[in-house]
C-alpha cells in the first residue's frame, strides 16, 4: 500500500505540465519525493511512454523543465512522461546492483529501491495519471543512479525497453583495488551482463565525459569512467547487441561528472529514445 501528498503545479511553461508528490514506500520505509513532467498537448492516437530517472532532485538544478519544454515546443518528441525519483541520504545503500553488493557492502538496500519502483511507483503513476496502457517503460540515472537503472532493466527486460546511463558508476566492484582486484572478473555490472542473456528489444544509451575523473587504474591512458563504459559496451556486443542499432555512445570532450554536463547531454538522450525525425522548424527550413 502507498499513500501520497500530491501538489499540482501551474507553471509558466506553455508546452509541458509538472507535478510533484511524496509517496510513502513500505519497502524503503520512508517517503520518496517524486517529480513528474508530461506534455500539455496530447495526441490520443499515440500512447504515452514512461521514463523513470534516478537522482530526480538534479532535474531542478538543470533546470530540466526548460529542456523538456523546448523539445516539446519544437515537436521533437513522441508522447513521453518523465518521472524523477529523488534520492535519500542513504543513496549509496539504496543505489547499486541489487543482487550483488560491492566490496564495502554498499547497495545493501538497492533491492528495496527496486521493489519500490516496480511494485509501488510504476503502478501508482499508472493510476494517478489515468494511463490504462503505455507504449513502453524506460529507466535512466546519473552516476550511481545510472548503474542502478541498467541493473534493474537488465534483470527485467520484460518491463523496460531503454536504459540511459550518464557517467555510470561501472567501477562498482567485488574487491578493493589493493585486495587482489582483477579487471576481468571484479567489475560487477560487467559480470552480470557477461553471465546474462541477450534480450531482444532492449536498447542502451551511455554518456561519458573526458573530464569525468582522472583515475586510470590500468594505466592505458583512458580514464576509468570511459574505459569501464566502453568495456561494458563490448560485453553487450559480445552478448549479441548491435553497436549501431541497439547502443548509443555519447562522449563529451568537455564533459564533467556534474549536473551541467548531464543537462547538456539529456536532450541527446531524449531525441535518441523518443525523437521525431524532424522538428517543425526543421520541416519549415526544408520546404
Q: Is 211 in a helix, a strand, or coil?
A: strand
pLDDT digits (tens, 9 = 90+) for 44-57: 778 999 999 999 99
Q: What is the pLDDT of residues 235-257, one digit of tens each?
A: 999 999 999 999 999 999 999 99
Distance CA 154, CA 167 (A): 18
pTM exceeding the 0.85 threshold for the entire prediction: yes
Domain ranges of the chain: 4-286
Residue 170 pLDDT greater than 90, yes or no: yes
Q: How many CB atoms lie within 10 A of CB 214?
A: 8
Q: What is the assigned CATH class of domain 4-286?
A: alpha beta
The rounded radius of gyration (Å) of the Cα atoms in the chain is 19
pLDDT tens sequence across 72-128 = 999 999 999 999 999 999 999 999 999 999 999 999 999 999 999 999 999 999 999
Amino acid at each position: 500500500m502507498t499513500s501520497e501528498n500530491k501538489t499540482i503545479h501551474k507553471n509558466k511553461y506553455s508546452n509541458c505540465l509538472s507535478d510533484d508528490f511524496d509517496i510513502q514506500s513500505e519497502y524503503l520505509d520512508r517517503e520518496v519525493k517524486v517529480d513528474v513532467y508530461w506534455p500539455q498537448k496530447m495526441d490520443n492516437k499515440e500512447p504515452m511512454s514512461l521514463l523513470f530517472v534516478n537522482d530526480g532532485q538534479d532535474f531542478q538544478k538543470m533546470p530540466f523543465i526548460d529542456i523538456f519544454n523546448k523539445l516539446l515546443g519544437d515537436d521533437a518528441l513522441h508522447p513521453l512522461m518523465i518521472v524523477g525519483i529523488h534520492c535519500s541520504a542513504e543513496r549509496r545503500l539504496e543505489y547499486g546492483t541489487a543482487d550483488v553488493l560491492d566490496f564495502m557492502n554498499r547497495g545493501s538496500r538497492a533491492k528495496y529501491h527496486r521493489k519500490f519502483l516496480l511494485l509501488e511507483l510504476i503502478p501508482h503513476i499508472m493510476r494517478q495519471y489515468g494511463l490504462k496502457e503505455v507504449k513502453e517503460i524506460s529507466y535512466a540515472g546519473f552516476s550511481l543512479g545510472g548503474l542502478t537503472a541498467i541493473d534493474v532493466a537488465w534483470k527485467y527486460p520484460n518491463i523496460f525497453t531503454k536504459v540511459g546511463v550518464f557517467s555510470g558508476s561501472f567501477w562498482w566492484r567485488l574487491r578493493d583495488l589493493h585486495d587482489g582486484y582483477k579487471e576481468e572478473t571484479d567489475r560487477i555490472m560487467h559480470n552480470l551482463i557477461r553471465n546474462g542473456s541477450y534480450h531482444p528489444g532492449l536498447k542502451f544509451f551511455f554518456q561519458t565525459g573526458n573530464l569525468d575523473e582522472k583515475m586510470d587504474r590500468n594505466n592505458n591512458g583512458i580514464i576509468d569512467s570511459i574505459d569501464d563504459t566502453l568495456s561494458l559496451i563490448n560485453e553487450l556486443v559480445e552478448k549479441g547487441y548491435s553497436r549501431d542499432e541497439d547502443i548509443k555512445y555519447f562522449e563529451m570532450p568537455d564533459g564533467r561528472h556534474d549536473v551541467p554536463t548531464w543537462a547538456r547531454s539529456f536532450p541527446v538522450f531524449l531525441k535518441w529514445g523518443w525523437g521525431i525525425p524532424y522538428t517543425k522548424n526543421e520541416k519549415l527550413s526544408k520546404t
